[in-house]
Chain A
Amino acid sequence: MSGDLYEVISAVGETIIGNRQMLTDLDAAIGDGDHGINMARGFEAVKAKLQILETESDIGKVLKTVGMTLISSVGGAAGPLYGTAFLRAAAPSQGKAELDVETVGLMLEAAIAGIKERGKATTGEKTMLDALVPAYEAFQDGAKKGKSVIECLELACEAAQKGVEYTKTIIATKGRASYLGERSRGHQDPGATSSYIMLKAVLKHLRR
């Protein structure tokens, strides 16, 4: 695997593992309190698999392995959701060792379509989509203006952060949090938060 990709995925993994308690606390407030634990378990498993892939240069192949690993190790709903997202993002990046703005846009689009399909969800339901969909739209806006991958990701991260803030204002209609109904308002969604911090980790790494 190209050193860069290895490091980007490692950085995403470290962010998730480092924020394990924060994500779990957010989930404990409105869900079953396992989001941080599950995601950290998933990315620990990814870390172990990454070693084997160190010489793999095909980005699609690496993302596929990440997706498969998350599906089999996360345990909660985030496993099939993020797992499907990585698997779908693997298709446009298959056979590629470098990514341009257009490909990253296609990857985000495919990942979001996968999450919508798997979760039978859309925006406004207090889920990861409330961070990812605005992030994707901002990314594409930047792309249309001819901005670089990093500049587009900056816009995407800003939009995702606003998306996380927005989840505080709405009630959950999907997942365990939906049992709480009105009481879920005022809390930020753990899934939207994990999506945002993953994007931010990618950006932070690429900016170096």
Chain B
Amino acid sequence: MVGVVIVSHSQKVAEGIREMALQMSAPEQKIIAAGGMVDGGIGTDAFQVSEAIIAANTGDGVAIMVDLGSAVLSTETAFEFLDEELRANVQIADAPILEGAISAVVEASLGSALAAVIATAEGARALSKM
């Protein structure tokens, strides 16, 4: 099953989104939060992200949800720390972090491949609330 990693500048945001996404998940599904700095401060940490990706991977790849600016930079930096096989099997979704995470988790729980999980997450951009 495709794993999902949530990268936010805030540990609370990442954990909170993970909690919401877990409600929609399959029992064995890996959803890992990588939020904030090790000292609890606001920011993103590429090493924490690479560890989260490794933890989220069960062999089917990992979809990554990001918040602002440097979350993307840190995640792309994290890719450099992965082995080649895993690096070829990870992707950042260009999607709103919360809606994207929930969409990705639902799609992944159906056993879909990484490309489909990413496409569904990115589809969340078009979700209309009103």
**Interface assignment of A176: CB less than 8 Å from any CB of chain B:** yes
Interface residues of chain B: helix, strand, loop or mixed (majority): loop
Asked whether, in the complex, the Cβ of A83 is within 8 Å of the Cβ of B46, the reply is: yes
Interface size class of B (residues with CB under 8 A): 10 to 19
1/0 contact trace for A29-40 toward B, CB 8 Å?
000001000100
At the interface, yes or no: A74 with Cβ under 8 Å from chain B?
Answer: yes
Q: Decide if B115 is an interface residue (CB 8 Å cutoff).
A: no
Q: Judge if B116 is at the interface, Cβ distance under 8 Å.
A: no
Bound-complex Cα distance A83 to B38 (A): 17
Q: Is the CB of A119 within 8 A of B37?
A: no
B73 touches A72 (CB 8 A): no
- A75 and B48 CA atoms in complex are apart in Å by 11
Asked whether B24 is an interface residue with its Cβ less than 8 Å from the other chain, the reply is no
Q: Which residues of B contact A175 (CB under 8 A)?
A: 69
Choose one: A41, A72, A80, A84; the contact of B70 (CB below 8 Å).
A80
Inter-subunit contact A76/B43 (CB<8 Å): yes
With known contacts A80-B76, A83-B46, A84-B77, A73–B70 Cβ distance under 8 A:
no
Q: Is A81 an interface residue (CB 8 A)?
A: yes
Question: How far apart are B69's CB and chain A's nearest CB, in angstroms?
Answer: 5
Which residues from B are CB-within-8-Å of A77?
A: 69-70, 73
Interface residues on A, range: 20 to 34
Q: Which residues of A contact B120 (CB under 8 A)?
A: none
Q: Are A73 and B37 in contact (CB under 8 A)?
A: yes
CB neighbours (8 Å) of B38 from chain A are: 72
Residue B91, interface by CB 8 Å: no
Check A190 for interface membership: any CB of B closer than 8 A.
no
Chain B residues contacting A176 (CB-CB under 8 Å) are 68-69
Which 7 interchain pairs have the tightest Cβ spacing? A75-B43, A77-B70, A80-B77, A80-B73, A72-B47, A71-B46, A75-B37
Q: B interface vs A, CB < 8 Å?
A: 9, 37-38, 41-48, 68-70, 73-74, 76-77
Q: List 21 A-B contacts (CB under 8 A).
A: A34-B42, A38-B43, A71-B47, A71-B74, A72-B38, A72-B47, A73-B37, A73-B45, A75-B41, A75-B44, A75-B45, A77-B73, A79-B44, A79-B74, A80-B76, A80-B77, A81-B73, A83-B77, A118-B76, A119-B73, A176-B69
